[in-house]
Amino acid sequence: MSDSGTQTPVLPISDAVCLECVSTLTVAYCHWSLLIATYTYVRVTLDHTLYFIEHLTKTTGKLKNRNNLLMKLAGSSWDANTETLRTSAVALCYSVAEYCAPVWSQSSHTGLADVQLNSTMRLISGTLRSSHLLWLPR
């Protein structure tokens, strides 16, 4: 307690709901300095415009790495049939892509993740790059 008789409330902070500052950007314009920060909340990177461009860029990078693993599996002699590739893609790629998807699904940058998921579907089905999206399995 302080001398004035009021007590400062102590709030519990859990790791799951904690906002942590990831990076800051300082913009100087006409003798004004703006500090723009991005935060991570439940492993989703929030920017000041809520376009989720940084989060979707990270997700795209993860999907590229996992697609490379699937390509190695498809090109190996481990009897990787379509069912094995599909199961691996659901476990590796779609779990990453669908994490918190309702939060960022209305962003204009979702095409970044869609390109990688289309690549995953082409890899599973064995189709070429020129195949239409309507022909890919859903």
pLDDT given at position 116: 95
Q: How many CB atoms lie within 10 A of CB 56?
A: 21
Percent of the chain with pLDDT over 70: 73
> With contact defined as beta carbons under 8 Å apart, do 33 and 27 qualify?
yes
pLDDT given at position 70: 92
Q: How many CB atoms lie within 10 A of CB 86?
A: 16
pLDDT given at position 117: 94
Instruction: Using alpha carbons, select from 43, 49, 55 the residue that is nearest to residue 16.
Output: 43
Q: Are strands 32-41 and 44-46 parallel, antiparallel or unpaired?
A: antiparallel
| Per-residue pLDDT tens over the stretch 52-80 | 988 999 999 999 999 999 999 988 777 77
| Per-residue pLDDT tens over the stretch 9-43 | 444 444 444 555 556 666 666 667 666 677 788 88
> With contact defined as beta carbons under 8 Å apart, do 104 and 59 qualify?
no
pLDDT given at position 2: 47
Q: Which of 24-38, 103-117, 119-133 bottoms out in mean pLDDT, i.e. has the lowest? A: 24-38
> With contact defined as beta carbons under 8 Å apart, do 39 and 20 qualify?
yes
Q: Which residue has the tokens 């918190």?
A: 100
Mean pLDDT over the full length of the chain: 79
More confident residue, 133 or 84: 84
Where are the chain's structural domains? 52-135
